[in-house]
Amino acid sequence: MTVMKIDVYSDIVCPWCFIGTERLARALESLGMASTARVTHQTFMLRSDTPRTGSNLHEELRAKYGVDPRAMFERVESAARESGIPLELSKQPLTYPTQWGHTLLRHAGAKGTQNALARALFHAYFLEGRDIADPVELRRLAVAHGFTDEEATRLLEDPRELELTQRESDEAHQRGIRGVPFFVFNDRFAVSGAQPESVLREAIQRAAAG
């Protein structure tokens, strides 16, 4: 049987990416393909210039649109709850740079823990309100997903690794990917956005039919 290949472009601080990847997982589960599909998380950074200490996204949105951002969050939180995610965006007012998290994700692919680590990063950031640019937090997550502490430390401190992460993100942008999540099925069908599970299932079935 041909293995379904799925490339997922997403960013750790993007709530729609969290929702989209959960919907993909549910779509694969409903089709009986959760254990056979080969899902690869590709590097994509929405804002690579965010300071490591973070910036207050809620204040930025308030300044930009002149309204309380909580009204904007209701749609996202409602969509998240429909997908089984107890999302409360007020828990996490800060947005952080994600090049360190993406660097770990790149290497988690070879360990077979990439999907689990991606989910753990989303959970840590959105549901637990953690700083996912903090080396201590990143090492904790890495060690729980197949890395040694020494290996994680080396990857997080190596400027060459961070340069490669940035390059991969730049290449995704250059290929025309502007918004995430963005899914590519068997290198043939692309779906943009956190689409309903039914849309993702249809794309998977079309790609499988080849």
Confidence of residue 64 (pLDDT cuts 50, 70, 90): confident
Confidence of residue 92 (pLDDT cuts 50, 70, 90): very high
Stated pTM of the model:
0.95
Distance CA 123, CA 175 (A): 29
Torsion, Cα 29 7 94 78, to 10 degrees, reads -40
Class of domain 5-209 as given by CATH: alpha beta
Q: What average pLDDT does the segment 144-163 reach?
A: 98
Q: Where do the domains of the chain lie?
A: 5-209
Torsion angles phi and psi, residue 184, rounded to 5: -125, 125
Per residue in 166-200, pLDDT tens? Answer: 999 999 999 999 999 999 999 999 999 999 999 99
C-alpha closest to that of 187 among 6, 66, 3: 6
pLDDT at 55 over 80: yes
Q: What is the mean pLDDT of the chain?
A: 95
pLDDT at 34 over 70: yes
